[in-house]
Amino acid sequence: MAEEVDYTKLPLEEKLDHKVWKARLSAYEDLSNQFESSRNDQDPVFTSQSPELFKRILTDSNVVAQEAGYRAFMDYLKYGGNASVVGRLVKSIGIIQPICEKGLSSSRKGTKDSAIESILIMVEYIDTPDIIIEEIILHLGNRLPKLVAGCVMALVAIYDNFGCKVVSPKPVLPSLGKLFAHADRNVRSETTKLAVELYKWMGSSLTSILFPDLKPVQQKDLTLAFDDVKDEKPQQKRLTKAQKYEIAKEEEASAASMSQAHGKEDIEMSDAALSDNNFDPLEFVEPVEVLSKLPNDFESRVASAKWKDRVEVIEEVQSVLEKAPKLIESDDYAPLVRVFAKNMRDANIQVVQLAATCANHVAKGLQKNWLKYQSIILGSVIERTKEKKPAVANALDSFLDTMFAISGLSGPILEEAVAGMKLKVPQNKIACASFLQRCLANTTKAPKSTEIDLIMNTGVKLLSDSQEPIRQAATELIGTLMKITGERELNKFLENTDDNRRAKILKFYESVEVKCYFSQAASAPPSRDPPAKKAFSSRTTSLQGGGFASSSSTIPSKREASSPAKRVDDVKATNLGKGLTSRSLSKPTSTSLRSSKVATSASLASNHINLSHPSATIVQSTPPSSHIEYVTDPKLEQELQQLRQELKRYQSQQQQDRNLIEQLNTENLTLKEEINSLNSRLEQEKRSSSITISHKDTQVNNLKIELDKVNHKIKDLEAEREINKLQQSNKSYFAHDQPTINDTNYREPDIRRGVHRLSITEQDQFVQPTQADGSGTIGYNRSSFHSISSNKEKLNVDAGDDWKRAAEVTQQLKKRIERMKARARTPLNVE
């Protein structure tokens, strides 16, 4: 047996072109080791190998060698890659094609993961990642489902790591509908993951683009998947080389100019991180031109006297607008908005609902550019909030919320909402107060004092309204505003409010959540920390200026008795249990912060002063000691620590309550799904039981019909049996009376022959003619005449009775024959 060749001793170029896969495997491993041990990206090992070599390496026929080739390619990108090298690989060499065809479609997990990772590395380096996305999209129409699923998996990894801010989703969006309609289940599953990743960044704008091309079942499944990540904030997990360079540059600049405290620096960094995450989902969507797509006869049909014509044309406009999440800002939408404003006053509520929905689509598509059209329709919408039908009210509320999200609380929104609260229709008051409450709960900018006065002047009047829903809406409005401003700011407005209504306001005030607070310091409750700082500063001032106080206060305003000073223990006992105010005004007790030497010298000085000016001693010694006691009181520090612990405990309890609420909501959704499934099963069982019952009824009817047929058959057979009996009796009777008649002359009797046989007039048939004689006359058998005459004699005996019996039998037979004919003309339906 020949010895195995040692391929490691062969030159690298020879091993790269070798026919044996083990030699190529050794070459790929050598390349990987060389790349790892290189000094920098300008090392000769990177320039000695042509980038076109990797196109052949990545398509190696042996799967083991191919996987090693992908590792070598990733090391090449990691240690020697840059924007120009990756750009040449993607644009000139076309490296994405072999990766998609041989790497992403590989059955080996290691090879597929390496292929995806190599694509991510190239996205990290290249300046324009859209080129890579377009190259991958070209393979989404391939016939191999395994290849298509691998390409979609690579797209999921790209958007999951880099997000839509680095890699634009615009090239992928047109292909999603075809991928969801793919016959392979794995392709559809990976497409769902891709749609979820895009939804994290694009939000509802993705649904308006994607859902029209999907089946209702797919829309339902995607909606459930989107709800799971609806509250999840998108985040870029992997930075590009350009981003890393910018961050390093900023860190160097900040380190060079750092002169502030670490706490302030941390705040600035967190604010920067938050600002980086702010983005507009519509920036990933191309604007759509919709005005040219509207019906040509839109204005004439929307002004039609028939409400069906108006509804049909607005539905056509809605189908156009709902497919355009972003509109071209340069177009003039004023005529269209005026039509919608006019429709707000339409007598048909279906027209109002459709017009509000269409205007909402326009507002969402224009965003900030909507502000110049808002004044055209806002007043009409506020007036139309008088509708009580839920579908119309929801459409109007959604439109109002969209306008608030675009323009904010200040300005026309607040003025029109307050004006709507003054309308005479009760539903207007309720709807406008609820809308204003939602605005206050979601605003990020606290209202000004003038705006607070405007809201409260109208809201307080609604608290005394005769209808409870209006009073409740005003209660929630004022409670939300109180959460922003604090109780003190609104106390003057609620002086004349009854205690019961005020208690409801405070109850709602405690439970409501807002996103901003009033900036005025007077509205916030006084805290304990600032006075302590102020006292500490005043203490320092008093200590520094102690000499001036002693020299200036030589003449007291009132002399006091020079009684012995109180003991320190007595003073502490008298100060025990007093508040902050009493402590600050009390007499000096002890200077615990000073050393014993300082205390001794201070006491000697005070005794010396007491000899000449005893009252001056009191004036000088009182202020410093009071300041020192105020700051260094351990009880205050202990109370402050207790308050902080209580605050932490309340926060943890609040978080637990929120978790419990989320858990209960999840359980509620699960129970609702179970109820729906049980209802569907019950409906299916009802349908199946009704089908079974109808089938059984059909079978019973068929059996009844069969039974009727059998009964009729039995009756017919009985009638035939009676007829046969009658014929047999007649036959036996004639056979007994006419023994000479030849049997050959007998024929099978039927009903008619039986009746005629009973007739007396047909007795001539028994007369048999004889052969003609020579004279031509016909001869007759005399015996026949003899038998006939003899039979005639016998028949004459009971001729009367036999005739009556034959007549009765004939009538019965005629009736039965008629019944059988009638039954034959109307056959029964057996089915």
pLDDT, mean of residues 445-471: 93
User: Do 187 and 303 sit in the same domain of this protein?
Assistant: no
Confidence category of residue 772, pLDDT binned at 50, 70, 90: very low
Expressed in angstroms, the distance from the first to the final Cα of the chain is 85
Distance of CA 59 to the CA centre of its chain: 43
Is residue 591 one of the residues assigned to a domain?
no
How far is residue 19's CA from residue 25's CA, in Å, rounded to a whole number? 11
Is residue 361 one of the residues assigned to a domain?
yes
User: Do 224 and 324 sit in the same domain of this protein?
Assistant: no
Q: Which domain holds residue 152?
A: 12-241
pLDDT in tens, 648-659: 888 888 888 988
pLDDT at 760 exceeding the cut of 50: no
User: Do 107 and 193 sit in the same domain of this protein?
Assistant: yes
User: Do 216 and 79 sit in the same domain of this protein?
Assistant: yes
List the structure tokens of 339: 């039509």
pLDDT, mean of residues 783-795: 47
pLDDT at site 411: 85
User: Do 328 and 221 sit in the same domain of this protein?
Assistant: no
pLDDT at site 38: 84
pLDDT at site 252: 82
Is residue 675 one of the residues assigned to a domain?
no
Higher pLDDT, 756 or 688: 688
Confidence category of residue 273, pLDDT binned at 50, 70, 90: very low
pLDDT at site 356: 96
User: Do 391 and 480 sit in the same domain of this protein?
Assistant: yes
Is residue 585 one of the residues assigned to a domain?
no
Least confident of 70-79, 265-274, 381-390: 265-274
pTM exceeds 0.85? no
pLDDT at site 307: 93
Place of tokens 């609620």: 494
User: Do 200 and 347 sit in the same domain of this protein?
Assistant: no
pLDDT at 468 exceeding the cut of 60: yes
pLDDT, mean of residues 100-110: 91
Confidence category of residue 504, pLDDT binned at 50, 70, 90: very high
Is residue 673 one of the residues assigned to a domain?
no
Least confident of 62-76, 444-458, 553-567, 754-768: 553-567
CATH at 51: 1.25.10.10
pLDDT, mean of residues 296-305: 91
Confidence category of residue 594, pLDDT binned at 50, 70, 90: very low
- Hey, what's the torsion of the CAs at 151, 152, 157, 163, to 10 degrees? 120
Is residue 299 one of the residues assigned to a domain?
yes
Which of 468, 496, 511 marks a domain boundary? Answer: 511
SS3 773: coil
pLDDT in tens, 162-173: 998 899 898 999
Higher pLDDT, 794 or 672: 672
Confidence category of residue 231, pLDDT binned at 50, 70, 90: confident
How far is residue 132's CA from residue 98's CA, in Å, rounded to a whole number? 13
Q: Greatest CA separation found in the chain? A: 208
Distance of CA 228 to the CA centre of its chain: 7
Higher pLDDT, 723 or 624: 723
> 3: which DSSP letter?
P
How far is residue 756's CA from residue 736's CA, in Å, rounded to a whole number? 18
User: Do 237 and 301 sit in the same domain of this protein?
Assistant: no
pLDDT at site 544: 40
pLDDT at 31 exceeding the cut of 60: yes
pLDDT at site 808: 87
Confidence category of residue 800, pLDDT binned at 50, 70, 90: low
How far is residue 485's CA from residue 522's CA, in Å, rounded to a whole number? 10
User: Do 81 and 151 sit in the same domain of this protein?
Assistant: yes
pLDDT at site 769: 46
List the structure tokens of 408: 């904010």
Distance of CA 363 to the CA centre of its chain: 22
Task: Please tell me the total count of domains within the chain.
Answer: 2
Confidence category of residue 316, pLDDT binned at 50, 70, 90: very high
In this structure, which long-range contacts are made by residues 493-500, counting pairs with CB atoms below 8 Å and at least 24 apart in sequence? 493/456, 493/457, 493/460, 494/460, 497/460, 497/463
pLDDT over 70 percentage in the chain: 73
